[in-house]
Structure formats: structure tokens, C-alpha cells
Amino acid sequence: MDFDKFNTLRKGLLEFLILGIVSSGRVYAADMMQRLSKTDFATQEGTLYPLLSKMRRDQLLDYEWQESETGPPRKYYKLTSSGRKQLTEFREYWESLTGLIDELGKPSCKK
């Protein structure tokens, strides 16, 4: 399949998927990559870290430090209230989009 065409789309969606992952609780960056690894959105630290810091600047996420047994303390991320709000908005928007996409192909739309 021609996945290249969808690259830009995927890139733009990643941020919202991360909101979704982080909404499940306190998450460490490696957990996010693990969660995405089996999907089309498999991502690496080189992409994820700059994105996470940008999302934190946008006040969608925040993190706290937590001690780790194997190394230095880790950052555990959680959603802020505006992050949660944005995730809800995104889900609604996405639903309306898929509705629209389905609708557009149907013959009933023809004039």
C-alpha cells in the first residue's frame, strides 16, 4: 500500500495518540514507545522527546520524577486539564471526520 502518502497525516496525529496513551495514567516515555511499537505509529526517542517537550510547553502534559531501580530517576507523564480537554475535542472531531468520510462516498450524496 502507498503508505508514504499518509506520512504527513500520521505525523500530525502522533501528538493526539500520545494524549490518548497518557490519559490512561502516569506513563514513562518507554511505555509510550512500547504501546505504539506494534502500530503504524511506531516511534523513536529522537522523535518522541522533542514532541513531549513541546506538548509540555503547550501545557497539555506535565511530568513528575520518579526513582528507578535500574538507573537515574524517570519522568512520568500525565495529562493536564487542558490536555484532557484537547483529547476530548480531538475524539469528537475525529468522529465527525470519519462520519464525513463515510458519508461522502455514499450515492445518496449525489445531486
Partner 1 sequence: MQKVIQISLGGHALMFQLEEDAYSALQSYLERARTRLNRDPDRDEVLRDLEQSIGEKLVNLLHSGNRVINRREVDAVLEQVGTVDAGNAEAAAANARPERPRRLCRIQEGQWVAGVCQGLAAYSSISVEWVRTIFLAVSIPTGGLPILAYIVLMFVLPVARNHDEYVAMQSRAT
Output the smallest distance, CB 108 to partner 1, in A: 38
Instruction: DSSP letter for 25, please.
Output: S
70 is a site residue for partner 1 (CB under 8 A): yes
Minimal distance, residue 77 CB to partner 1, in Å: 12
| Site map 5..24 versus partner 1, x via CB under 8 A | ------x-------------
Q: How many chain residues bind partner 1 (CB under 8 A)? A: 20
Q: Three cell numbers at 105?
A: 462516498
Residue among 12, 91, 77 nearest 47 (CA): 12
Residues 6+ apart with CB under 8 A from 22: 32, 61, 77, 78, 79, 83
Residue from 6, 34, 37, 49 binding partner 1 (CB under 8 A): 49
Report the candidate in 27, 32, 56 with the shortest Cα–Cα distance to residue 42: 32
Contacts with partner 1, residue ranges (CB under 8 A)? 11, 29-30, 43-47, 49-51, 53-54, 56-57, 70-73, 75
